[in-house]
């Protein structure tokens, strides 16, 4: 396989011989969907984000998820148009580079790699918390959350050394189990008619901005909290291009997997949030969330499974939130490794990070992610070693940083798509898919960033904690640091600079099946 830059002064110049490559032709559509959708963690998204959206938008939380579905589907139109032209494990990093240049691309690449590692650490903390509470509840064995975090990180590291197909299968089992238990809950609630019967009020978008129950809790910022909580639930849907080199038909699979994950998750989220509101009733939905946040119940969903399905479903949900969170962590872990791999292969990061294992997995990059995630988690554990700290600090504060970075880069991707099709790929320009849809996508992503920044104190529940105060500035500092690094490479190392964001797997090239050196 020959990797050739497609833009810039070095167009047509191949990479040096021996450039490391991931295993090709090994992932089909189901496997890619498993890798993507488990990153969004549907069960965890419902158990965590529906209560937040309900506190923000009251009984209109299903409408907030519907709005987010439409916005992200529109963003995906331009994103998929870019996927058809560019195939690389670099994902967002490569897209921004092709559309807006190497300097902005490098800033985006370093920021997004950090964000995914922060996500991996955050969800690992959540996994540790639920593993600790679930095991203690079922067996009486009381171990701290950090002990389960160590076990989880060790398991992810082990999986990273094996073939990506094995990881995809593990993620697939976890995902199917999550969807099954949510479906069982939905059937139970809808079959019984819920607490007060069916109503169309939860699906009215206007109710997001005029909901007395929500305003009583969060005041004027309620609608912003609701919409942001909904957008938060899709983090990970954009991972398809990161697995492009390992798929059998990257351009086709990226399109189907992206649309499938965005729309499929959207339908699931709207249904389950509607089931939640219907199960409790229009006013009871907010009261249940208040009870959860007061510590009276572990989750506002558990009484619903007890009432409408049975205690066995609640126990199953308690177990699956552990396995589902772990699967989500592993999805972010894998994507982080592929960003580091892509940056190293192009000479931005140390070349050692681009070395693959005998099974053609990004082994060195994966071990680096293990170290970074481990140290990040250690810092939070030292700050607060309690189980609640793993959930309410590591698991709640960190995603705000990650989401802000990802939404910001997605906004840049929208601009990059427009410029790419107005300049480099003018033959593929279309008024809707490469202009209007990206403009609307940019507006949605930028708006979500504003909602996060303005409402971050309420979302974190941390008052004026230093981490939350400096959060936007950390994201900006990492991005600007990447820009400066790009300018340094341009001035001092022009050969390395020319390779930024240029590695691509031509669709017609044969895929490697053996091991690299």
CATH architecture of the domain with residue range 29-498: Up-down Bundle (1.20)
Look at residues 361, 441, 437, 6 and name the one whose alpha carbon lies nearest to residue 157: 361
Determine how many CB atoms are found less than 10 A away from the CB of residue 216: 12
Distance CA 99, CA 97 (A): 6
Q: Over 80: is that where the pLDDT of 52 sits?
A: yes
pLDDT tens digits along 69-83: 999 999 989 888 887
Plot region of 437 (φ>0 → left; ψ -120 to 50 → alpha; else → beta): alpha
pLDDT tens digits along 466-488: 999 999 999 999 999 999 999 99
Phi/psi of residue 220, nearest 5 degrees: -65, -20
Distance CA 381, CA 394 (A): 8
For the purposes of burial, counting CB atoms within 10 Å of the CB of 338, is it exposed (0-12), middle (13-18) or buried (19 or more)?
buried
Q: Over 80: is that where the pLDDT of 109 sits?
A: yes
Interacting residues of 51 by C-beta distance below 8 A, sequence separation 6+:
289, 292, 293, 299, 300
Out of 178-182, 288-292, 446-450, 505-509, pick the least confident: 505-509
Contact call for residues 157 and 367 (beta carbons, < 8 A)? yes
Element (H, E) at 60: none
Out of 203-207, 222-226, 335-339, 512-516, pick the least confident: 512-516
pTM: 0.83
Distance CA 330, CA 104 (A): 28
Out of 8-12, 115-119, 137-141, 326-330, pick the least confident: 8-12
pLDDT tens digits along 120-166: 999 899 899 989 988 988 888 889 999 999 999 998 888 877 655 56
């Amino acid at each position: 396989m020959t990797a050739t830059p497609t833009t810039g002064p070095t167009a047509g110049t191949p990479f040096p011989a021996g450039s490391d490559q991931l295993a090709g032709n090994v992932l089909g559509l189901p496997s890619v969907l498993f890798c993507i959708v488990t990153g969004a963690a549907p069960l965890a998204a419902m158990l965590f984000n529906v209560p937040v959206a309900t506190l923000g938008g009251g009984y209109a939380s299903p409408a907030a998820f519907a709005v987010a579905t439409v916005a992200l589907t529109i963003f995906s139109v331009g994103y998929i148009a870019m996927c058809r032209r560019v195939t690389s494990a670099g994902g967002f990093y490569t897209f921004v580079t092709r559309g807006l240049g190497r300097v902005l691309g490098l800033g985006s690449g370093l920021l997004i790699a950090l964000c995914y590692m922060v996500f991996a650490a955050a969800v690992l903390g959540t996994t540790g918390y639920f593993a600790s509470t679930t095991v203690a509840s079922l067996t009486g064995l009381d171990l701290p959350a950090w002990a389960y975090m160590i076990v989880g990180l060790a398991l992810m590291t082990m999986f990273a050394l094996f073939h990506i197909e094995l990881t995809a299968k593990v993620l697939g089992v976890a995902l199917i189990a999550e969807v099954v238990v949510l479906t069982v809950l939905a059937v139970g609630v809808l079959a019984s008619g819920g607490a007060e019967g069916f109503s169309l009020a939860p699906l009215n978008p206007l109710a997001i901005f005029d909901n007395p129950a929500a305003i009583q809790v969060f005041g004027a910022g309620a609608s912003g909290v609701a919409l942001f909580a909904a957008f938060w639930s899709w983090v990970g849907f954009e991972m398809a291009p990161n697995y492009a080199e390992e798929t059998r038909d990257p351009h086709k699979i990226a399109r189907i997997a992206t649309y499938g994950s965005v729309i499929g998750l959207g339908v699931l989220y709207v249904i389950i949030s509607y089931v939640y509101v219907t199960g409790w009733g229009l006013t009871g939905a907010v009261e249940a969330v208040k009870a959860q946040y007061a510590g009276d119940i572990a989750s506002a969903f558990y009484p619903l499974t007890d009432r409408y399905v049975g205690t066995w479903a609640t126990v199953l949900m308690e177990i699956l939130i552990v396995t589902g969170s772990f699967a989500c962590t592993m999805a972010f872990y894998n994507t982080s490794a592929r960003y580091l791999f892509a940056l190293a292969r192009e000479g931005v990061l140390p070349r050692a990070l681009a070395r693959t294992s005998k099974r053609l997995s990004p082994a060195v990059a994966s071990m680096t992610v293990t170290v970074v995630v481990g140290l990040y988690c250690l810092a939070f554990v030292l700050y607060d070693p309690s189980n609640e700290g793993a959930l309410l600090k590591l698991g709640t504060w960190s995603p705000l940083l990650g989401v802000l970075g990802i939404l910001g880069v997605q906004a840049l991707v929208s601009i990059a798509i427009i410029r790419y099709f107005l300049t480099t790929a003018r033959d593929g320009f279309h008024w809707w898919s490469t202009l209007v849809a990206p403009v609307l996508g940019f507006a949605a992503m930028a708006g979500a960033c504003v909602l996060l920044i303005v409402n971050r104190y309420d979302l974190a529940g941390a008052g004026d904690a230093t981490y939350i105060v400096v959060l936007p500035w950390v994201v900006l500092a990492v991005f600007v640091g990447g820009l400066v690094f790009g300018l340094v490479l341009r001035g001092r190392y022009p050969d390395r600079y020319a390779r930024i964001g240029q590695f691509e797997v031509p669709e017609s090239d044969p895929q490697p099946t053996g091991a690299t050196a």
